[in-house]
Amino acid sequence: MSYTNVRLLLVSALVIFSTLVGCKKDPEKTISSEKKISLLSVKDANGNEVSYSTNETKDKLEIAVPSGTDIKGLAISCKSSERVTISPDPATIKDYSKPVEFVVTSEDGSEQTYSITVARTGNSITKFTFNVAGKSINGVIDETTKTIKARLPLGTPLKGLKPEIEVSEGATVARVEKGDDFTYSVKYVVTSEDNHSSSYIVIVVVSIVADEADNFIREFSFTAADNGFKYDINGLISESAIWVEFPFGTPLTGLKPKIEISDKASITSDIATEGDFSKPVKYTVTAENNDKKVYTLNVKVTPASTDNRIYKFYFLLNSKSGYGVINDTDNTIVVSLPSGSKLTGLKPVIGLSNPGATITSDATTEGDFTKPVKYAVTAQNNDIRVYTVTVTIAPPRPDNSITRFAFWVDGRTVKGVIDETAKTIVVMLPFGTPLTGLMPTIEISEGATVSPDIGTRVDFTKPVFYTVTAENSNQKVYTVTVTVAKTVAKTGNKITKFTFYVDGNSIDAVIDEKTHNIVAKLPFGTPLTGLKYSIEVSQGATVETSDNVAEGDFRLRIIKYLVTAENEDVTTYLLEVTTSQ
């Protein structure tokens, strides 16, 4: 064979090979239907970060922001699944004083409408005022104990009082006890925009002396703002003494008290050095008529705590927690992490039973738990407790089950029936549903994997085999059979008749279809156990009671019945059975 012929053969072979390679079918790309959005940040009109908490449901994102936040000037940014669009762009919306709806479109073109609601968390009473004889008297609000105390002038009637109340922006307030009588303590409930409530107890007293003879210390406290504390420290006041207890370690010098006394009175003290409360101090309150009352201030500091316990110890791993088992008798903590975890680069979350205690460890490399690590907890009184923390890796789990298999069709979830013994899953889809390109929702044993992968579109025109592989490599194969209903599923889910049979008589209950309430009035003296009855429902529907009652037992005041249509829509009815003369 000539050189030219050989060259032609080689070129032809290359062309054929290239054609075969070029014609190789690309693997089918999975088009996602994911439409999830989540919050990234909330900023005010000046671009400052605003703290927030969220509550996410299928189609709602509820955002709670601090009281006082201007919700008409917010900048909210969201993140979404890959290749998802949001309309309108949240960054273009500023006014969230009302719920705002966004349309989220997934890669496959399906849409989901989300509602974003912003509510303020404030639920405090900020001012509580009585107007008496042309004078405004403000109640003293204690946020720690949630109490409000007001002292009114001698002779003020405690009935017919109408206070003026100011609350956190956006919040509402309501008095629990009806009326306008303050003879006894009264409860007020303040509800924030995000529907969280706090209760205040209002105590109103009337002075036992006229204003000109009034010489009382009403309030005595060391506020956090004036003294750099974490919280206000309030004194306990009696007829002639005041007691104040400070946390361990508080210096008793350089302190600034806040004192409220009777109107028109004055106050002096015998304190030697301003702000020094290392020994008792006498305060003299002088009324307008020159009557004097002496109070002795007694200060103590809480003794050093002996508490040196660890009450929580855990690791956060890929949104899962490895919680430690704490034994305070042996001073040991044992943590078991999921199979496949690493024992290096770990960051434990540690909770001390007393915030004044301190903790150190003997770990040579931070986050290295390849061998036991000792943690020394030192109490305020310097007592030390040493815990030994041992972290192990759990063996591969053998679980390899499909626990849920469902489809989202025409706005509803259709669940498959799983037979664990036969390893089969049977699903009946609504009439007219195509069996190609379906993406089931699958839940499997923790740590396991499944093939075909979750999120993959599959052709179910014939049975499909799903293989679940456990962490220990054990496999289980399920046969999934999907069929389509031959007729349109009926939507009826009503109770059309509810009849009782008493002493040979038929008594039909009254059914209110608007409220779904059913009322049956039986003759006086009819026993409410062992009753015979019948229920008629829409064609194709089923009915069951969700309450744990014996057959024929109607002694419960209200009994709930669930009526399920063929298309799985459910209506709840409430039955009340009474006897009357």
**71 in a domain, yes or no?**
yes
Rounded CA-CA distance 254/273 in Å is 9
Q: Which of 350, 370, 390 is a domain's end point?
A: 390
CB 498 within 8 A of CB 575: yes
Beta strand residue intervals within 4-158, DSSP E: 37-43, 53-56, 60-65, 75-80, 85-87, 100-105, 111-120, 125-132, 135-138, 140-142, 147-152
Q: 323 and 284 in one domain?
A: no
Q: 553 and 477 in one domain?
A: no
- Of the candidate ranges 209-218, 246-255, 306-315, the one whose mean pLDDT is the lowest: 209-218
**What confidence tens digit (pLDDT) does each residue in 275-304 have?**
999 999 999 999 988 999 999 999 999 999
Q: Indicate the pLDDT class of residue 170, thresholds 50, 70 and 90.
A: confident
Q: Indicate the pLDDT class of residue 35, thresholds 50, 70 and 90.
A: low
- Of the candidate ranges 32-46, 364-378, 506-520, the one whose mean pLDDT is the lowest: 32-46
Q: Does the structure show a pLDDT above 60 at 436? A: yes
Q: 458 and 509 in one domain?
A: no
Residue 33's pLDDT is 65
- Mean pLDDT value of segment 453-472: 94
Q: 364 and 329 in one domain?
A: yes
**What confidence tens digit (pLDDT) does each residue in 259-268 have?**
999 878 999 9
Residue 278's pLDDT is 92
Q: Does the structure show a pLDDT above 60 at 14? A: no
CA-based nearest residue to 391, from 349, 312, 320, 337: 337
Residue 581's pLDDT is 61
Phi, psi (rounded to 5 degrees) for 12: -60, -40
Q: Does the structure show a pLDDT above 90 at 426? A: yes
Across the chain, mean pLDDT equals 86
Q: 569 and 447 in one domain?
A: no
**What confidence tens digit (pLDDT) does each residue in 82-116 have?**
667 787 877 777 688 788 888 878 766 677 787 78
Rounded CA-CA distance 415/404 in Å is 8
Residue 5: in which H helix or E strand, if any? helix 3-22
- Of the candidate ranges 51-55, 69-73, 241-245, 423-427, the one whose mean pLDDT is the lowest: 51-55
Q: Does the structure show a pLDDT above 70 at 578? A: yes
Residue 40's pLDDT is 63
Q: 417 and 340 in one domain?
A: no
Q: Does the structure show a pLDDT above 90 at 321? A: no
- Mean pLDDT value of segment 331-346: 91
**26 in a domain, yes or no?**
no
Rounded CA-CA distance 192/172 in Å is 7
Q: 133 and 92 in one domain?
A: no
**415 in a domain, yes or no?**
yes
Q: Which of 92, 120, 148 is a domain's end point?
A: 120
Q: Does the structure show a pLDDT above 90 at 177? A: no
CA-based nearest residue to 331, from 310, 359, 348: 310
Boundaries of domain holding 500: 495-580
- Mean pLDDT value of segment 35-61: 74
Q: Does the structure show a pLDDT above 60 at 561? A: yes
Structure tokens at 83: 């290749």
Q: Indicate the pLDDT class of residue 190, thresholds 50, 70 and 90.
A: very high
- Structure pTM? 0.45
Q: Which residue has the higher pLDDT, 93 or 348?
A: 348
**19 in a domain, yes or no?**
no
Rounded CA-CA distance 557/574 in Å is 10
**3 in a domain, yes or no?**
no
Q: Which of 390, 422, 442 is a domain's end point?
A: 390
Question: What percentage of the chain reaches a pLDDT higher than 90?
Answer: 55
Q: 295 and 334 in one domain?
A: no
The number of distinct structural domains making up the chain is 5
**15 in a domain, yes or no?**
no
Q: 499 and 437 in one domain?
A: no
Q: 268 and 160 in one domain?
A: yes
Residue 15: in which H helix or E strand, if any? helix 3-22
CA-based nearest residue to 42, from 86, 82, 91: 91
CATH number at residue 104: 2.60.40.2340
Q: 288 and 175 in one domain?
A: yes
Residue 11's pLDDT is 41
**What confidence tens digit (pLDDT) does each residue in 491-549 have?**
889 999 999 999 999 999 999 999 999 999 999 889 999 999 999 999 888 999 877 77
Work out whether the CA dihedral 36, 42, 47, 49 comes out positive or negative.
negative
Q: 133 and 91 in one domain?
A: no
**470 in a domain, yes or no?**
yes
CATH number at residue 570: 2.60.40.4120
**572 in a domain, yes or no?**
yes
